[in-house]
Amino acid sequence: MDRSTEIREFLRTRRARVTPDEVGLAPHHGARRVPGLRREEVAQLAGVSVDYYIRLERGHTRGISQTVLDAVARALQLDGAERAHLFDLAQPADTRARRRPPPRPQKVSEVLHRTLDALAVPAVVQGRRGDVLAANRLGYALFADFAARPRRERNFGRFVFLDPAARSLYTDWDRAAADTVALLHLYAGRHPDDPQLTELIGELSLKSDAFRGLWADHDVQAHTTGTKRLHHPIIGDLTLDYQVLSVQDDPEQTLVLYTPEPGSPSAEALGLLASWTSTSTAEALPPERTPGPPG
């Protein structure tokens, strides 16, 4: 991933969504040639010269300071995830010494595997790039039997965009697709040189028009909680709240839990799925004890 291109497109798309009225600027007389803010308006709001901001938007970040990036983030009304993404892309001079080392292969600990087995709700361990590193029986039964797939295909991006079953599973597929891309963009800012990321983005861009369009939006978002609405092929409609928990041994692993409202139709349906997975499919959904996708 070319960092300069990513910075340029990210800043361009962020200023395109902010209007002068929203940031208290006087209205511009005459037709505006660009949606949202112009470069000189961002520079004015951030308290930097126009030339300086143009250099930043072109990806020239050598010597850029945290103070300037903070000012640009405020001018563009970036949220926490977007601000972190900008800092990852720009690598300000006063943080360059703390660059992250190359990512090591991820492996789910035996303790976490036992935790998965003990949980009575669907649970998935997710790694870098949306890789599915492990899940319990209900987790596999809820989405897809990732354990039975080749290791390279145990990835939510490939599932959402390349598996026809995903469009039937997600009641709001468009939202699920946008969320998946937003998480990938966030990861790409931290690890732009990850060869497996480059391969994944290339494959999805080649095979999915929807992915290409969403990737060009440059939206980023970090999800910690929310609601999924699914139409499962066996038990029908489900509304599940999800919670994303960090894994202390590896900050780039997360444990995602899916829970229904007690006493709801979704809780009853999930109970049927649990019964089904513990009987007729017990052999088809073995507990995963092998490492997830390399990297």
- Residue 141 near residue 279 (C-beta atoms within 8 A): no
> pLDDT tens digits for 105-124?
889 999 999 999 999 999 99
SS3 135: strand
User: What does the mean pLDDT of the chain come to?
Assistant: 87
pLDDT for the residue 193: 83
Sheet holding 250-259, edge to edge: 132-135, 123-126, 250-259, 236-247, 225-232
The Cα 53–Cα 43 span in angstroms is 6
Give 2 or 156, the one with higher predicted confidence.
156
The Cα 150–Cα 60 span in angstroms is 41
Query: Predicted confidence band at 60 (pLDDT cuts at 50, 70, 90)?
Result: confident
Query: Predicted confidence band at 76 (pLDDT cuts at 50, 70, 90)?
Result: very high
Residue 83 has pLDDT above 90, yes or no: yes
pLDDT for the residue 227: 94
Both 125 and 251 in one domain: the answer is yes
Domain limits at 212? Answer: 110-278
pLDDT for the residue 265: 96
Both 170 and 241 in one domain: the answer is yes
Both 81 and 120 in one domain: the answer is no
Q: Is residue 135 part of a domain?
A: yes
User: For residue 67, what is the domain's CATH number?
Assistant: 1.10.260
> CB 279: neighbour CB atoms within 10 A?
8
Both 94 and 117 in one domain: the answer is no
Both 118 and 253 in one domain: the answer is yes
Both 136 and 173 in one domain: the answer is yes
pLDDT for the residue 180: 96
* Spatial CB neighbours of 277, under 8 Å, sequence gap ≥ 6: 137, 138, 140, 141, 285
Mean pLDDT of 220-246: 93
**What total of structural domains would you count in the chain?**
2
Percentage of residues in the chain having pLDDT higher than 70: 87
Both 242 and 165 in one domain: the answer is yes
Both 69 and 164 in one domain: the answer is no
Both 115 and 89 in one domain: the answer is no
Both 46 and 119 in one domain: the answer is no
Residue 287 has pLDDT above 60, yes or no: no
- Residue 15 near residue 73 (C-beta atoms within 8 A): no
Both 235 and 176 in one domain: the answer is yes
User: For residue 202, what is the domain's CATH number?
Assistant: 3.30.450.180
